[in-house]
Amino acid sequence: MLTMAEAVREAMSIAFDERPEVFLLGEDVGIYGGAFGVSGDMYHRYGSERVLDTPIAELGIVGAAVGAALSGMRPIVEIQFSDFTAQAMDQIANQAAKIHFMLGGALHVPMVLRTPQGSGTGAAAQHSQNLEPWFASVPGLKVVVPSNPADAKGLLLAAIDDPNPVIFLEHKLLYKIPGRDPVPEGSERIPLGVAKVVREGKDLTIVATGIMVNKSYEVCEKLAAEGISVTLIDPRTISPLDMQPVYESVEKTGRLMVVQEGPAHAGFINEVIAQMAGSSSFGSLIAPIKRLAGMNIPIPYAPQLEKAAVPQIEDIEAAAREIVKNWR
């Protein structure tokens, strides 16, 4: 079964084959095959005309991608660590995100920015961030967070199709492992802005992003064996966000828990809570909304410290049990 890295490569290859204007640029994506091996052998298959190695110049690279996108190309730009999107923020947030709106629709930016995010590799504070809220809070960007290889393939194809700038956040820990479901053959797209109900239950609704979907899934399996049934929802696209299945589920379960890796304060997942709190489904809640998220600290180096900084399976399990037990 394909790993996430392989699934992403497969999606890019399909897009390359479908459209000559699609190309990849980034640091070490060419000969090296990508820092995390995602582009792999694409350089050999497609050549240096379409797989461009760049110097270390995130702002310049992303800016060039914007300019190319404005001029008829469909660039995929890979930023080696999501932390380094900071160097490129002007071109991402001030240029790409705003061009279509500011220029009255005269131009648009069909660009995908792919970047690995997240902690768990011992790479410490500047190489481990989850920056979902940075992008989700900028109108004009679409933000996608795949939790498994199968979704990653279909979502990336849809992102490349999209005429707007899409930030595609891949979790480092997922690159080398296959998912629960095999990656489908073919080139079917998974539409952006549609959440997935991963499993259905009646006792609790969990909304989780990225790697937390998988951790939550394991908790759901364990609880199911004890008769506690949990609905697990993966938004897949965090901006624009599909809340409809969340409302429907909470109206059945009455209990909502949200799980993300990034720091709790001002994190993306708060958007789910905010929308729920203001919705007509609010009156279905029989328990306070529970949020599990990272500690409000930079990611520490030592393995036990790094683990402690973000929610683990045990944390998710304990929280789920507590809500179901104490709130009837």
Partner 1 sequence: MALTLQDQITSTHRGHGHCIAKGADLTRMIAELLGKEIGYCGGRGGSMHIADVETGNLGANGVVGGGIPIAAGAALASKMMKKGTVAVSFFGDGAMNEGAFHEAANLAAIWKLPMILFCENNKYGMSSSTEKAFAINNLADRGKGYGIPGVNVNGNDVVEVYEAAQIAVDRAKKGEGPTLIIAETYRWKGHSRSDKNLYRTKEEIEEWRLLDPIPKFIARTIKQKKLTQEQCDGIQQEATDAIVAAVNEAVKAKAADPAGLLDAVFKKVSA
Partner 2 sequence: MPKMSMTMETGELLLFHVKVGDQVKSGDVLFEVMTDKIDMEVEAPADGVIETLVGNPGDVIEIGKPVLIMLTETEVMAFDFGGDAAAQVETAAPTPPPVAPAPVVVAPVAPTPPPVAPVVVAPVVQAVAPVVQAVAPVVTPAPIVAAPVVTPPKIVNTSVKAVPKARVEAANRGIDLRTVHPTGPDRTITFSDVNSAQVDPAVLKRQAANKALIAKGIEMTRGIAQASFNRRAHANFDHAQLISAWAKVLRGRPDIAVHQHVGVSLIIESKYGSALPVFRDPDLISVEELRTLVSSTSDAAKNGKVPIAMLSGGTTTIFDLTTYSMSSATPLLFPNQVTSLTIGYDSESTKNISLTIDLNICDFYDGALLLDALIASL
Q: Does 282 bind partner 2 (CB under 8 A)?
A: yes
C-alpha pair distances (Å), 141 with each of 57, 196, 227, 263: 21, 21, 41, 21
Whether the Cβ atoms of residue 81 and residue 115 lie closer than 8 Å to each other: yes
Judge whether 108 counts as a catalytic residue.
no
Whether the Cβ atoms of residue 204 and residue 255 lie closer than 8 Å to each other: yes
CB under 8 A: which stretch of 38-46, 81-89, 263-271, 276-284 binds partner 2?
276-284
Give Cα 312 to chain centroid, integer Å. Answer: 18
Q: Does 247 bind partner 2 (CB under 8 A)?
A: no
Question: Binding partner of residue 285 among partner 2, partner 1, none, CB under 5 to 8 Å per kind?
Answer: partner 2
Q: Does 164 bind partner 1 (CB under 8 A)?
A: yes
CB under 8 A: which stretch of 123-131, 159-167, 206-214, 291-299 binds partner 1?
159-167
- Report, in Å, the least distance between residue 255 CB and partner 2: 10
Q: Does 46 bind partner 1 (CB under 8 A)?
A: no
- Report, in Å, the least distance between residue 212 CB and partner 2: 24
- Report, in Å, the least distance between residue 224 CB and partner 2: 23
Distance CA 118, CA 309 (A): 12
Residue 1 token pair = 């079964």
C-alpha pair distances (Å), 206 with each of 203, 252, 320: 10, 13, 9
Phi, psi of 283 (to 5 degrees): -70, -5
Question: Binding partner of residue 49 among partner 2, partner 1, none, CB under 5 to 8 Å per kind?
Answer: partner 1
Question: E strands, 172-247, where?
Answer: 196-199, 204-208, 230-234, 237-239
- Between 82 and 164, name the residue whose CB sits nearer to partner 1: 164
Strands 290-294 and 256-263, by their bridges, are parallel
Q: Does 161 bind partner 1 (CB under 8 A)?
A: yes
Q: Which of 288, 301, 302, 318 binds partner 2 (CB under 8 A)?
A: 288
Phi, psi of 208 (to 5 degrees): -135, 155
Tokens 């500690």 identify what position? Answer: 295
Q: Does 273 bind partner 2 (CB under 8 A)?
A: no
Q: Does 23 bind partner 1 (CB under 8 A)?
A: yes
Judge whether 265 counts as a catalytic residue.
no
Known catalytic residues are 58, 127
Binding site for partner 1 (CB under 8 A): 21, 23, 49, 52, 54-55, 57-73, 75, 87, 90-91, 94-95, 99-108, 139-140, 142, 161-164, 192
